[in-house]
Amino acid sequence: MGEIFAGRYELADPIGRGGAGAVWRAWDHRRRRYVAAKVLLQSDAHTLLRFVREQAVRIDHPHVLAPASWAADDDKVLFTMDLVAGGSLAHVIGDYGPLPPRFVCTLLDQLLSGLAAVHAEGVVHRDIKPANILMEATGTGRPHLRLSDFGISMRKGEPRLTETDYVVGTPGYFAPEQMLGAEPDFPADLFAVGLVALYLLTGSKPDSRALVEHYLAHGTPGAPEGVPAPLWDVIANLLRPDPQSRFRTATGARKALAEAVELLPVSSPDEYPVEVFDQLGPLPAGFGPQGPSSTDAVTPHSPTIAAPAPAPATTPAPAPATVPAAAPATAPAVVPVPAAAPVAAPVGFGPPPASYGPSQTGSFHLSPPSPASPPAPAAPPARPGGIAPPAPLVTAAFLAAALLCFAVGVWALTQM
């Protein structure tokens, strides 16, 4: 059975890993459904800042995958979101290569729709790339994408958490103004959308630096092979190096895309259908569609602690008349406290008696000496002159007094 996190989430199996932590398929005992849970170690401030930023984005949109809840347990934190089974756009390209233009237009329309909702909240995503665009497992039906990973997003105008000359994002998907240290703005996200569109149409990662150089030296490049001119006009606008010449809003780009779709040729009969597969695979052992097989034994909102094994049956001794009656069966069980590690005795003192150990209730007590204690050893013979050697306890007392006097003297000297 998987690990119980914060008494609510039961981790089933890992489904991904990123720079900030692992992503697990987890059963949410409160919502009674599987979710995606990103588990982060509280090992450095950068990871926790990403966690805080992800939590700050709460956008309810069908094409946005924002965090839904979070929890902390010991040295780890996690936040959860809807479970998306179809992998990312990178998986789709890996399965099919270049995608049909009309299929790409559907994906771009959804991406721009979700991005418009993000921008409406004043948030710049800053990390739009195929790996952060997830797909529902829709088979050969209409595709459904979700824009995810808001770990480095920020609201326009809020203070940066990094130096101004430090570029944040994924190399290859930077807008030119990002490389120059400009403040994050919406057109930078739109430039990344243009690169994603080119990736979907050609099946390979575009060279953004070469594109910018071509724009600056020769103007707008020609459409890649197989890309209709009306669609390329929209993408070429998204890829303009000057952010002032680019689409200013995702909504504006989406309207231009809708007009371009009207001019696209009708799909050919031999155009292959694109199927978005379930990339998660079967549930691990112990988990089913309705949750873990041990769901009945798990109480939501509380940690799962295994009950101690029952003690072997014995005949109880008769209790004295003065002992109160046993507590009812509903009383909470007492968890035994493990015995403390042995501590070395100081010089001049022997080991503590066994009666100083922990009691059954977890507190320490002093018991009277056992009547069966062995007799004390015989006193050593007297020295010449009739003076007996000092007992060990007396010697220890003298040593303790001497140490106390020495400590008081040192303190007095420091006060002079």
Give me the phi and psi of 38, to 5 degrees please. Answer: -95, 120
Asked if 115 and 139 sit in the same domain, the reply is yes
Q: Is residue 157 part of a domain?
A: yes
| CATH number of domain containing 110 | 1.10.510.10
- Helix, strand, or coil (residue 416): coil
Task: Note the pLDDT of residue 153.
Answer: 87
Task: Note the pLDDT of residue 376.
Answer: 52
Asked if 234 and 142 sit in the same domain, the reply is yes
Q: Is residue 104 part of a domain?
A: yes
Q: Is residue 232 part of a domain?
A: yes
Asked if 56 and 102 sit in the same domain, the reply is no
Q: How many structural domains are present in the chain?
A: 2
Asked if 78 and 101 sit in the same domain, the reply is no
Q: Is residue 162 part of a domain?
A: yes
Asked if 56 and 109 sit in the same domain, the reply is no
Q: Which structural domain, as residue segments, surrounds residue 10?
A: 4-83+282-297
Task: Note the pLDDT of residue 332.
Answer: 39
Asked if 53 and 190 sit in the same domain, the reply is no
Q: Is residue 180 part of a domain?
A: yes
Q: Is residue 334 part of a domain?
A: no
Task: Note the pLDDT of residue 224.
Answer: 94
Asked if 115 and 186 sit in the same domain, the reply is yes
Q: What whole-number distance in Å separates Cα of residue 183 and Cα of residue 185? A: 6
Task: Note the pLDDT of residue 187.
Answer: 96
Mind listing the pLDDT tens digit of every residue in the chain (416 residues)?
678 988 899 999 999 876 667 899 999 999 999 999 988 876 666 666 667 777 667 788 999 998 888 888 877 888 899 999 999 999 999 999 999 999 999 999 999 999 999 999 999 999 999 999 999 999 999 999 999 988 888 888 776 655 544 455 566 788 999 888 888 999 999 999 999 999 999 999 999 999 999 999 999 999 999 999 999 999 999 999 999 999 999 999 999 999 999 999 887 666 778 999 999 989 999 999 999 986 544 444 433 333 344 444 444 444 444 444 444 443 434 334 344 444 444 444 444 443 333 333 333 333 344 444 455 555 544 444 444 444 454 445 555 555 565 555 545 555 55
Asked if 11 and 147 sit in the same domain, the reply is no
Give the DSSP letter of residue 81: E
Structure tokens at 106: 């559907």
| CATH number of domain containing 74 | 3.30.200.20
Give the DSSP letter of residue 75: T
Structure tokens at 387: 């003076």
Question: CA dist 156 to 66, 122, 246, Å?
Answer: 18, 6, 18
Asked if 138 and 43 sit in the same domain, the reply is no
Q: What whole-number distance in Å separates Cα of residue 166 and Cα of residue 150? A: 18
Cβ contacts of 256-262, under 8 Å, gap ≥ 24:
257/105, 257/108, 257/109, 257/112, 257/231, 258/109, 259/230, 260/105, 260/228, 260/230, 260/231, 260/233, 260/234, 261/102, 261/105, 261/230, 261/231
Q: Is residue 100 part of a domain?
A: yes
Q: What whole-number distance in Å separates Cα of residue 366 and Cα of residue 392? A: 22
Task: Note the pLDDT of residue 42.
Answer: 66
Q: Is residue 198 part of a domain?
A: yes
Asked if 105 and 238 sit in the same domain, the reply is yes
Task: Note the pLDDT of residue 13.
Answer: 95
Asked if 74 and 124 sit in the same domain, the reply is no
Asked if 195 and 94 sit in the same domain, the reply is yes
Give the DSSP letter of residue 290: T
